[in-house]
Amino acid sequence: MVDEPHYSFDEYELYYESTERVTDRRLATNAWNYGICTAIIVAVAVLANWSVSKPEFGLMTAGAIVTLAGMGMLLCTLWIGQIRDFKALNNAKYDVLNAMAPLVRFAPKDDRVSATPFAKEWEILKAKDSTREIESMKIFALRSSNTEFLVPTAFRWLFGLTVLAAVATAGFNFTSLVKDALILKQPTSVATPTPAPPTNSQTKQP
């Protein structure tokens, strides 16, 4: 029977640190995407408020709002995919850590073995019903992990409703918006000044 290979504790520790960095990257990505989505919402609100006082730019404003909201929907779709990929990568890394743990040796010819803390911790969480399966990913995670998808999903719905509202508003008011746009394009007529009547001093006597 071939003895199972042993792993260095330094290698185990290094791999664990890489797992932690994946979590940090996911949180940083969430913060970045949240900031961009918030900026898009502010930009849409500013454009909508500005178009109220500038109806001649209504069609252009509606197009800009649809474009911004559409980009927001695409960003949210990418955001959800990023969260899913980061979670899948983290799940795989912890599987590797749990597989390595029983074979870790702290030093050559050292009889000490790992206590497999991650595996035991996970079993305790499962026993306390603190985990839930993410069906789309076929992995188990903490219950709060599912709510991480809630923010980008809510943003995506908000952007979708914004697109529908902008298109519906432009459709119902299309005629008036076109008229306002045509008025804006018409050149403004410059009034020709009428000559002033001659004064008495300028009138020549016969």
Residue 67 is predicted with a pLDDT of 93
Has residue 41 been placed in a domain? yes
Residue 37 is predicted with a pLDDT of 95
CB-based contacts of 22, cutoff 8 Å, min separation 6: 86, 89, 90, 93
pLDDT tens per residue, range 150-199 = 899 999 999 999 999 888 887 777 566 566 555 655 555 545 556 656 66
Has residue 22 been placed in a domain? yes
CB crowding 100-119: b at 16 or more within 10 Å, else e: bbeebbeeeeeeeebebebb
Has residue 46 been placed in a domain? yes
pLDDT band, very low/low/confident/very high, at 11 (cuts 50, 70, 90): confident
Has residue 191 been placed in a domain? no
CA–CA gap between residue 43 and residue 80 (Å, rounded) = 22
pLDDT tens per residue, range 88-146 = 888 888 888 888 787 887 776 666 666 666 666 656 656 656 555 555 555 555 455 67
User: How many domains in the chain?
Assistant: 1
Has residue 141 been placed in a domain? no
Q: Which range of residues forms the domain containing residue 85? A: 7-114+149-185
Q: Tell me how far CA of residue 147 lies from CA of 131, 133, 154, 160, 166, in angstroms.
A: 13, 13, 11, 20, 29
> Count of CB atoms within 10 A of residue 152's CB?
22
Residue 136 is predicted with a pLDDT of 52
Has residue 65 been placed in a domain? yes
pLDDT band, very low/low/confident/very high, at 59 (cuts 50, 70, 90): confident
Has residue 137 been placed in a domain? no
Has residue 68 been placed in a domain? yes
Please tell me the least confidently modeled range out of 38-42, 43-47, 86-90: 86-90
pTM, full prediction = 0.69
Token pair of 203 as six digits:
């009138």
